[in-house]
Structure 1
Amino acid sequence: MKKDGTPVVPLTDLVDYQEGSIVSRAIVQKKSGTVTVFAFDEGQGLSEHTAPFDALVFVVDGEAEITLSDTVHRVNSGEMMMLPAGEPHSVRAVKPFKMLLVMVRE
């Protein structure tokens, strides 16, 4: 723990992989935005959709394909990607992967 009592936790420890599933855990839920951690098993994904707010995806473990407006991007652990509001996107786990999703509301 830090001096102020705030626990320091590795992002990868906040959610566990489950076979054939996607697991999520909300960390922050406020009017100004949300922070959610996800764990995707290999082959799992989110079908194409849009969001009303900008989103930042931080891959903290594994490897994913994120399709943004019909362009496929391979995103690995330690990398991030911006998903602009209103742009169609989808996510697929190439390998089991974990991501931190930050939604920024206006």
Structure 2
Amino acid sequence: MSRTFIKNIDFGKTHELAELVDYQPGRVVSLTLVQNEALSMTLFAFAKGEGVSTHSAPGDAMVYIIDGRAEITIGGEKLAAAAGQTVVMPADIPHGLEATEDFKMLLILVKQ
């Protein structure tokens, strides 16, 4: 029996990550690729103005911006992130984000 750890994506094919989630006005769309005790990988599409309220996570969170722009807040400091850029948010530090235009990201959360 074959074991798989990644879900919701076809194996043995090429993919454009940006095409796996679509924008929907006024919504945040997500597609979970990995979810276990040590690792979570999720694709997101945020409509402009949507976001994730300030929270902390039990692991380091890395976002890779696939498309568009977002404002990311880490420990009270704001930074702008755009397509092609990566931001790492340390474990247990409050963080959040808001789409300053439609944007897509891959979130990787690594836990102990």
- Give the TM-score of the pair, scaled to structure 2: 0.88
Instruction: Specify the alignment match of 2:31 in structure 1.
Output: 25
Identity %: 41
Match 2:109 to one of 99, 103, 106: 103
**Structure 2: how far apart are the matches of 1:81 and 1:59?**
8
In structure 2, stretches of 5+ residues that fail to align are 1-10
Runs of 4 or more above 3 Å deviation: none
**Structure 2: how far apart are the matches of 1:31 and 1:8?**
27
Question: Which one is further off, 30-39 or 14-23?
Answer: 30-39
**2:17 counterpart of 1:11:** yes
**Structure 2: how far apart are the matches of 1:28 and 1:70?**
29
**Structure 2: how far apart are the matches of 1:17 and 1:87?**
29
1:1-106 to structure 2, matched below 5 A, reads 6-106=12-112
**Structure 2: how far apart are the matches of 1:50 and 1:24?**
19
| Count of equivalent residues | 102
Superposed CA offset, 1:54-98 (max 9, x none): 110000000000000111010000000001000001110000000
Alpha-carbon deviation of 1:14? Answer: 1.0
Superposed CA offset, 1:5-32 (max 9, x none): 6111111011000000000000112232
**Structure 2: how far apart are the matches of 1:78 and 1:30?**
26
In structure 1, stretches of 5+ residues that fail to align are none
